[in-house]
Chains A and B, each alone.
Chain A
């Protein structure tokens, strides 16, 4: 007989951690302060301020995801190719920053980039012109890339390590050069890793408000910042929930797109 009650903690977890919170978000999102049904909170996304913030969020998270992908893939290839003894150590070095507090890492960048910060001090030491990087979208992208790069490297590295060396040798054996081996064997076989890496970078980038708070100096509003403010400063849970639902919709859409890509990658012929 199966001991079904062993599943109880998980049911409890799902109930309290997933179903009830989502239910509450839906409830607040579709009601006004007096508890009446309304779609105003969701449609509020169409207001110029919100639209702009959402657009900025999408743009910056796309850019940082792309930069992460273009940085992580060659890096994962190098890690795969490097000699066995050093391999584990190099991955370890890469994952090491993940063990430090996320806030701390982001604030470190603030110190580096701020006006009298390390970055500009070094520039002036080299007699180069000062460079305003803090409080710009570029600084936020930098923060996102720095914080989320390991989440792109690891899944791609894992999937590359799983590719059977014989399969790559077989491609060479059949006459393929380096470029062809990469484009028709290595790349298609690493799609699952790319998809999970993209998901793990894109979703937190889209929803972040901490990075934009610290490195954007409160001047650049991402959709995350707006939602945060609705919940804290404005204490308007209904509007915050409505905007959250819109953001969730965008995440669901992006996941759906990625899933199509992945299943395409699994089986295609001529």
Chain B
């Protein structure tokens, strides 16, 4: 199947700082793909190269199989929702939304209908004549969305569009975005550093760091089977420990042997082990594999977050049952909740590249 957008061997450096290094990515039609990573990982640069605002030092950008590497942004069938909305302050809401349509030379009646439709889509009916600076951040965000989608682009680029909104609004907008994507059938390329946002909305998540793709997969795959310590650490809370793979299906952590479900790592090989805090089972002393003592306990809301010192490691544990600080407990974990990862041996390996 031909992908809608393909980035081939993209390399980009600002001065001496290499932001993207031989970067490859394919985006399929109707996909909601999220580029996720800490700031400076190259995700925004990737987006800007797709949008045409930045040119790559090396490599190609393909759109439906055609090379668009040197095409300016106004010639691309791609629209962008900018981080700070970038609405035209000297135009009304309607003027903003109509901007692209007017340039495309659409008729007045068509434009009027389209503006109305777009405002309805983002739940701001009747806002045509409002001034931009009279709108709240969330409303401006919606207008920026409307201004982009009204042109019926094949691809919509979103650069941390929810970054400036408060938590409640952000959650509402997340559902709104999913709804829009399903209603419109547009491909979304979304950039964020918020892992929760990425997991909630995406069909596919691309975790990036240092200009390399660390892992690419569905939100479930990324969360449940992180491929390296970076992904595990970046996505959600986790306990990342040094371990030794004794043999297939058996790993040693903190001097105790645990059954696991991974194989193919060889015998007596050092590995990284990830155990999610909610997967740790708290028992009475002696019940589990490791005995320990609760040294911290904070109520987060849905659960208690505890730190339990056991086997020479401070485990992060999340549980709906609370254990008081100082209590003697034991910890255990079921085999399927132990995630084994290779230890990185080089920078190249640290940034594992995958072809899909």
A residues contacting B by CB (< 8 A) are 164, 166-167, 169-177, 180, 184-185, 188-189, 265-270
Contacts and interface: CB of A to CB of B under 8 A. Distances in A.
A268 B88 contact: no
A166 B144 CA distance: 12
Contact of A188 (B78, B83, B90, B104): B90
A185 B74 contact: no
Contact of A174 (B129, B131, B147): B147
A143 B241 CA distance: 77
A146 to B, nearest CB: 33
B53 interface: yes
Given A174-B148, A270-B95, 10 more contacts: A172-B53, A173-B80, A174-B147, A174-B151, A175-B103, A184-B99, A189-B90, A266-B90, A269-B94, A269-B95
A270 B73 contact: no
A201 to B, nearest CB: 24
26 contacts: A164-B86, A166-B86, A169-B53, A169-B80, A170-B80, A170-B87, A170-B147, A171-B88, A171-B99, A172-B72, A173-B53, A174-B103, A174-B147, A174-B151, A175-B100, A175-B104, A177-B74, A185-B88, A189-B89, A189-B90, A268-B90, A269-B91, A269-B94, A269-B95, A270-B94, A270-B98
A270 to B, nearest CB: 6
Contacts of B100: 174-175
B88 A173 contact: no
B224 interface: no
Interface core residue of B51, B78, B82, B147 (most chain A CB under 10 Å): B82
Given A175-B100, A269-B129, A166 B74 contact: no
A177 B73 CA distance: 9
Interface in B69-126: 72-74, 78-80, 82-84, 86-92, 94-95, 98-100, 103-104
Contacts of B78: 173
Interface in B46-60: 51-53
A184 B98 CA distance: 13
Would you call the interface of chain A mostly helix, strand, loop, or mixed? helix
B90 A169 contact: no
Contacts of A164: 84, 86
A173 B48 CA distance: 11
Contacts of A268: 90-91, 95
Contacts of A175: 74, 100, 103-104, 151
B146 to A, nearest CB: 12
Contacts of B99: 171, 174, 176, 184
The 6 residue pairs across chains A and B that have the minimum distance between CB atoms: A174-B100, A166-B86, A269-B92, A170-B86, A269-B95, A175-B103
Given A172-B74, A174-B99, A175-B74, A166 B83 contact: yes
A170 B92 CA distance: 16
Contacts of B73: 169, 172-173
Nearest to B108: A270
A268 B74 CA distance: 24
A136 to B, nearest CB: 41
B83 A267 contact: no
A164 B151 CA distance: 22
A195 to B, nearest CB: 14
A176 B80 contact: no
Contacts of A265: 90
A28 to B, nearest CB: 45
A184 B89 CA distance: 12
Given A172-B73, A173-B73, A269-B129, A167 B104 contact: no
A184 B96 CA distance: 11
A189 B89 CA distance: 8
Nearest to B76: A173
Interface in B132-186: 147-148, 151
B103 A173 contact: no
Contact of A170 (B52, B82, B95): B82
Nearest to B79: A173
Contacts of A267: 90-92, 131
Contacts of A177: 74
A186 to B, nearest CB: 11
A185 B89 CA distance: 9
A169 B76 CA distance: 13
A164 B132 CA distance: 15
A159 to B, nearest CB: 12
Nearest to A168: B86
Contacts of A185: 88
A176 B88 contact: no
Contacts of B104: 175
B150 to A, nearest CB: 9
Contacts of A170: 80, 82, 86-88, 147
Given A174-B103, A175-B74, A169 B82 contact: yes
A168 to B, nearest CB: 9
B19 to A, nearest CB: 18
Contacts of A176: 74, 99, 103
A266 B90 CA distance: 5
B74 A173 contact: yes
Contacts of B84: 164, 166
A225 to B, nearest CB: 41
A164 B83 CA distance: 12
A188 B89 CA distance: 10
Contacts of B103: 174-176, 180
Contacts of B82: 166, 169-170
A171 B148 CA distance: 11
